[in-house]
Amino acid sequence: MSLFSGMNISGTGLTTFRTWIDALANNIANVNTARPTSGAAFQATYVQAQEIGGAANGGGGVSADTTAKSSAQGRLTYQPNNPLADKNGYVRMPDIDMGEQMGNLIMAQRAFEANASAIDRAKQTYQAAINIGKSR
């Protein structure tokens, strides 16, 4: 394990949680996106963290996998005044739970802040070590 591996691992956490925040923001922005019933609903993106390097290699952090999507079926909603409505007045809306999205957003923000704090503390520690060496 190298001297800066903690910073590198926290850096991968920052990238992963930023990706999660971006995906959540996109999901929330599209919660009211209506589509015709003949097409697919907006599909929410779900982020899955994957270990980099494996435990046998001392761990290398995490990476984000954004291939998981919600159902293209969505939910049918009665909106007869919507220009995309079918002859029965229905449109296809995404199946996104705002409570779940907001809860995940809070967790992702806190995790991002924790990784940023870990990098800041490591930087302060390395700076203090450099200053000890300078004073001799």
> Residue 84: its pLDDT value, please?
96
Q: What is the DSSP letter of 56?
A: G
> Residue 9: its pLDDT value, please?
87
- What's phi and psi for 46, nearest 5 deg? -115, 130
For the chain, how many structural domains are there in total? 1
Q: Say how far apart CA 77 and CA 36 lie, in whole Å.
A: 11
- pLDDT tens digits for 58-102? 568 889 999 999 999 999 999 999 999 999 999 999 999 999 999
- pLDDT tens digits for 30-61? 999 999 999 999 999 999 998 887 655 556 88
Name the residue range of residue 75's domain: 5-134
Report how many helices (DSSP H) and strands (DSSP E) the chain contains, helices first. 2, 4
Q: Which of 69, 41, 37, 65 is nearest to 51 (CA)?
A: 65
Q: Say how far apart CA 120 and CA 118 lie, in whole Å.
A: 5
